Structure 1
Amino acid sequence: MPAQHRILVTGASGFVGTWLMRTLRDFPVDSSVEVLSAGRDPGCDCELDVTDKAVITAALRDFRPTAVVHLAAIAAPQEARKDPSQAWHVNFQGTMNLASAVLHDAPDCRFIFAGSSEAYGQSFAEISGGAVSEDCALKPMTIYGATKAAADIAVGQMYFDGLRSIRFRPFNHTGPGQTEAYVIPAFASQIARIEAGVAPPVIEVGNLGAHRDFLDVRDVVRAYALAALGDDIEVEGKVFNLASGKAVEIRSILNTLIRLSGREIEVVVSPERVRPVDIPMARGDAGAALSILGWEPQFALEDTIAAVLSDWRARVDATA
């Protein structure tokens, strides 16, 4: 019996992609699911560069997906800031290449776009600490946020051309496997090295006063899986925030990690870790995801923080 669901995941070898692949393969559905990992990593089922239109077209025609989950991106804001041209080429033009190919070569395929809460930018400040909803203006303040906002708008417009699109704007998410380019693993990796005795008891930090809305990556990919495997056409053309609705101070996350370590650790602010543009508070309203998709976060933040620390302890032990 042929697979009833054929899901193509771009950026499948990345942090979020790896978790999504696991989730899709274990997701409880009545029909069969075939998942194709696509990306630039040799370990992927399909080598795919989203900036190469011919390769995209061939992959769609060969696999004939019922849904594409588009995760491939220059995902670290610092990396996007260092090379804006590449960030625009991958995050915007790559998304346009893929969405256009789906529209023309696989018109029955659902297109799920992983955007970013960074697209809201200045809107966070304008609502004075309130939770942004999907109808808040996109006013990005970073290169990364701008590339994601532009792609988000383009994918939304293409729905009216016939693209069966669903857009997500996830807020900060973390979990085991994430790199040190993000705040929680940046703290956890330093603490793990201190615990292992390979680094002095000093941790370098950026702005600890910012408040952010954090999620577990496993909650985020569950939303993508719901969209990829669902059959309710009412969700198509819509955009969904993925958020907890709670803003947590970065300092409290660091304090939790230090408490979990049981060590006396000196905290030092490093200029290299302070972002040039920083929003004091960012939190989201995910009411639409709950009412339409039935999605809400399931992982407690402290459990996620502990899982990240355990992951980094294992990584440091493996290299010691």
Structure 2
Amino acid sequence: MRALVTGAAGFAGCHLVRSLLADGCEVWGTLQAGHAPPAALRDARWLPMELASADSIAAAMREARPERVFHLAAQASVADSFVDPVATWEVNATGTLRLVSALPEGARLLFISSAEVYGAVPEDEQPIPESRPLRPTNPYAASKAAAEMAVVEAAARGVPAVIARSFSHTGPGQDGRFALSAFARQLAEIRAGRAEPVLRVGNLQARRDYLDVRDVVRAYRTLIERGEPGQAYNVGTGEAHSMAELVEMLVELSGTGARLETDPARFRPVDVPLLCGDASALRGLGWAPEIPLRRTLAELLEHEERALAAHAEAA
């Protein structure tokens, strides 16, 4: 199978490429101009592609001639979307429309959306089903909701395109802009004696439905093969954990005894208090999560410690 993965050098993208290569797929990954492919994924084939350019997308499709397209590339930070909402829409919404328009005939598409599209949902109406109306509360979520409409419209014209609404996920290799990886990085520095035993945190009251990124990758592969075109599927567990609970677990795993200190800079302008997804439809396709959250956090912390040690050796 020939697969094209946009955003292949990103967090979930790297894990997806690794999974596809392990199964013998011919994998093409896209990169923004000036970016190098991850050293650990040299067996994939790499192409430049800019979502802001229809010509760039068309050239990548001609070169890769994919049978499956996993569209992960996005401006993925909620915080950054507040800084530049127009650029976020250009990449996430209009960029997705350009990509859908350039798909080779017969290629199946999985568009990676986000649970953020649901906005604030009353607790007594969660876990959230896919039938819930979309009420985005930040520019990132709004751009993803708009992109979904482009995918639904294409599916109505016969394009085999499916939507994955991903709830929160983490694991080894996540970007330090995201909460749990940032906390793990701080704890790795404390454990190495490079920082005082103080963990700087933002809003710990928010509750999220967290998955291991490797379970998410299995969900994506299930959906692109078995998902109903034009339909959206929640990718989650149906259980929510507060950030306070997850931070407590990370501190315990680190053995640092770090005390918490609130940092106003780590708060979002708008933070949905609870996001928890009903993934019954995805489970009905034969998928179920396999990796316990405690193991995920332990491996996230171990990854940050190894990265810190490698950086110290190279310095």
| 1: CA distance, partners of 2:107 / 2:62 | 12
SS of 1:267's equivalent? strand
- Superposed counterparts of 1:303-318, under 5 Å: 303-318=295-310
| 1: CA distance, partners of 2:191 / 2:229 | 48
2:42 aligned residue: none
After the TM superposition, which of the residue ranges 51-60 and 189-198 deviates more from structure 2? 51-60
Question: Residues 245-293 of structure 1, C-alpha deviation per residue, up to 9 Å, x if partnerless?
Answer: 00101111111111112222121111001112112211000000011x2
| 2: CA distance, partners of 1:160 / 1:139 | 23
1:71 aligned residue: 72
2:183 aligned residue: 187
- Find 1:111's aligned residue among 109, 112, 137: 109
Question: Residues 66-99 of structure 1, C-alpha deviation per residue, up to 9 Å, x if partnerless?
Answer: 1111011001111111111110110011100000
| 1: CA distance, partners of 2:299 / 2:257 | 21
1:242 aligned residue: 235
2:170 aligned residue: 174
1:42 equivalenced with 2:36 (yes/no): yes
Please say if residues 39 and 72 of structure 1, whose CA atoms lie closer than 8 Å, have aligned partners that are also in contact: no
1:299 equivalenced with 2:291 (yes/no): yes
Please say if residues 213 and 248 of structure 1, whose CA atoms lie closer than 8 Å, have aligned partners that are also in contact: yes
- Find 2:130's aligned residue among 134, 137, 141: 134
| 1: CA distance, partners of 2:274 / 2:163 | 23
TM-superposed deviation, 1:136: 0.3
Please say if residues 129 and 281 of structure 1, whose CA atoms lie closer than 8 Å, have aligned partners that are also in contact: no
Tell me which amino acid in the other structure corresponds to 1:303: R
Question: Residues 163-208 of structure 1, C-alpha deviation per residue, up to 9 Å, x if partnerless?
Answer: 2101000100111111111111111111100001111111110111
1:202 aligned residue: 198
Please say if residues 164 and 223 of structure 2, whose CA atoms lie closer than 8 Å, have aligned partners that are also in contact: no
Tell me which amino acid in the other structure corresponds to 1:96: L
After the TM superposition, which of the residue ranges 308-317 and 58-67 deviates more from structure 2? 58-67
SS of 2:102's equivalent? helix
SS of 2:274's equivalent? coil
Which ranges of structure 2 fall in alignment gaps of 5 or more residues?
38-44
- Find 2:256's aligned residue among 260, 263, 267: 263
TM-superposed deviation, 1:129: 5.6
1:225 aligned residue: 221
Please say if residues 223 and 282 of structure 2, whose CA atoms lie closer than 8 Å, have aligned partners that are also in contact: no
Please say if residues 107 and 162 of structure 1, whose CA atoms lie closer than 8 Å, have aligned partners that are also in contact: no
| 1: CA distance, partners of 2:166 / 2:185 | 24
TM-score by length of 1: 0.91
Please say if residues 165 and 232 of structure 2, whose CA atoms lie closer than 8 Å, have aligned partners that are also in contact: yes
TM-score by length of 2: 0.93
Q: Let me know the Cα RMSD of the aligned residues.
A: 1.4
What percentage of aligned pairs have identical amino acids?
39
After the TM superposition, which of the residue ranges 282-291 and 263-272 deviates more from structure 2? 263-272
Q: Tell me the matched-pair count.
A: 303
1:149 equivalenced with 2:145 (yes/no): yes
